[in-house]
Amino acid sequence: MAKRIRKAVFPVAGLGTRVLPATKSIPKEMLTVVDRPVLQHCVDEAREAGIEHFVFVTGRNKAVIEDHFDMAYELEDTLQRRGKKKEYDALMADLPAAGATSFTRQQAPLGLGHAVWCARDIIGDEPFAVLLPDMITLPGQRGGRCLAQCIEAYEKHQGNIIAVEEVAPQDTHMYGVVSVGADFGHTFEISGMVEKPPQGTAPSNFIISGRYVLEPQIFPILERVEKGAGGEIQLTDGMKKLAEAQGFFGVRFDGKTYDTGSKVGFLAANVAFAMARDDIRPGFLEELKKIVGPL
């Protein structure tokens, strides 16, 4: 029996240099897609996938993230006194249970592998999920957002899981890339991986798209892994080492993933998430038509 995935790590220490000046004083994870912070969309995805404990690896100037997942006494009191029950209930539904969040700081931007390693004591000796909050997802035909599909694959294969997505060959150098081994359709065995391969050298077009389920044996490896691409401690390098001892499987997520860390991706996410909302789509579509012509 595969162990249940109860905890998820959200590395949220990044500086957001791709969307300056928006992120000068606001953490990039708090920018809104429709009416929810990007990070809240990721937490929603994790919750839907059964995650019970949310571990945020933050950094300086990110304290507002902690406030977002706490009670907001004055606001809640005012909403209640003014009879704004709908708004109050929505806030309460989003509030994580007491003790269900942990915050730790990555003191220096040493890379994603280092950020995940910072969560080692909070995770302990159990498999866990990682969600990169730049990436937000909408459900596909198979049901569920990306992490739910990853956990389903974890239960099936009982190995480490990486969500992948196919991109154009000229874009592979910006990502981690996996090699495809035995193929099972929705999932496949990962036979190799490389972080940010130079143009023209990627082993496939399947990029690592920001959702992982990992065994805790990754932690002692991350403690020792050397700096890799970009001079950073890379999660991909740690996983590559772990793959010498344990199985890794790719999940072809059949929904849509948006990279909100880029300006175009962020705008596209806002359009897609607005169109996915029954209460917003009709009015939004009218406005869109005025801007871009008939759709």
Residues that bind ligand G1P (CB under 6 A): 112, 132, 134-135, 175-176, 195, 207-210, 234-236
158, 163, 204: which is closest to 181 by C-alpha?
204
Within 10 A of 259 (CB to CB), how many other CB atoms are there? Answer: 20
CB of 32 to ligand G1P, least distance (A): 20
Q: Which residues pair with 251 in a beta bridge?
A: 163, 187
Q: How far apart are CA 77 and CA 88, in angstroms?
A: 9
| Cβ-based nearer residue to ligand G1P, 59 or 210 | 210
Indicate the residue among 79 and 178 with the shorter CB distance to ligand G1P. Answer: 178
- Residues of 71-87 as b/e, b for ≥16 C-beta within 10 angstroms? eeeeebeebeeeeeeee
Greatest alpha-carbon span in the chain: 62
Q: Which is nearer to ligand G1P, 79 or 269 (CB)?
A: 269
- Give the whole-angstrom CA distance, residue 132 versus residue 144: 17
**Least distance in Å: CB of 18 to ligand G1P?**
9
Q: How many CB atoms lie within 10 A of CB 53?
A: 18
Task: Answer whether 275's CB lies under 8 Å from 34's CB.
Answer: no
What torsion do the CA atoms of 12, 14, 19, 23 make, to the nearest 10 degrees? Answer: 70
C-beta of 135: minimal distance to ligand G1P in Å? Answer: 6
Residue nearest ligand G1P by beta-carbon distance: 176
Nearer to ligand G1P, 176 or 250 (CB): 176
ω into 197 cis (within 30 of 0):
no
Q: What is the closest distance, in whole angstroms, from the C-beta atom of residue 110 to ligand G1P in the complex?
A: 12
User: Closest approach of Cβ 81 to ligand G1P, in Å?
Assistant: 43
CB of 176 to ligand G1P, least distance (A): 2
For ligand G1P, give the closer residue by CB, 132 or 150. Answer: 132
Q: Nearest to residue 260, comparing CAs of 69, 41, 113, 110?
A: 41
- Closest CB to ligand G1P among residues 243, 288: 243
Closest contact distance (angstroms) between CB of 276 and ligand G1P is 21
Report phi then psi at 127, rounded to 5. -65, 150
Rank residues 144 and 210 by Cβ distance to ligand G1P and give the closer one: 210
